[in-house]
Amino acid sequence: MLSLGLKMFFDRSLALGISMFAVVPVLALASPSWESGRRRGELFAATSANDAALRTRIAVLSPSVSPDDARRVVYTAYMTGVELRRQWRVVWLPGVQNWLVNIGARKGGLCFQWATELLVRLDALKLQTLELHWAESFLNTGAEHNVIVVTARGQPFEQGILLDNWRYSGHLVWTQVAMDPEYHWKENKSEAVRRLGRAREMASRQVGEHHEQRQGSSN
């Protein structure tokens, strides 16, 4: 018998699967205006690592945003999905991937893992005109979800653009954070700091272990 939390994952994934077949092909073939997306509360599917619609939407968050920063964010977010989808052997539906991770059959693919990987990679870009935010929805429930939101520096979280690689199994989708048709997002600043701190500690430890191994082999 499925646990309540696991059942919620499957139920939600089934609903997302149905909506993807109805919506994503349309998004992939057309470039709907941002205003139409605002009216319908749609998600937009990034079609490439240089997706013009997403790149432009990030760039126009503020006159202060560098087009190069926007370009690098789009490239990194899209390629994170491509690379991890292959590395984690991601399957459809997202809830099925969650189950495979939880039973040890996959190394990654939970929503917080997608978000953490993206946060770390975007942080490494040393963006000058954009800020990164950790976002949470349905916190402490079986349907909890995490994404990364980007804003111009000093801009309110609610005006940002969310980047989500989990919802469609590694295929990047995005929208304005306040217009998500599936989730209501809240920022967690301390979680962003905690996850970046842990990633840096792990990277430092790995460098130290590699250095020790090299020293040992040279003796």
* Residue-wise pLDDT tens digits, 68-94: 999 999 999 999 999 999 999 999 999
The better pLDDT of the pair 189, 10 is held by 189
The answer, yes or no, to whether residue 203 has pLDDT greater than 80, is no
Q: What is the mean pLDDT of residues 40-44?
A: 80
3-state secondary structure of 117: helix
Chain centre to alpha carbon of residue 183: 14
d(CA 12, CA 148): 20
3-state secondary structure of 147: strand
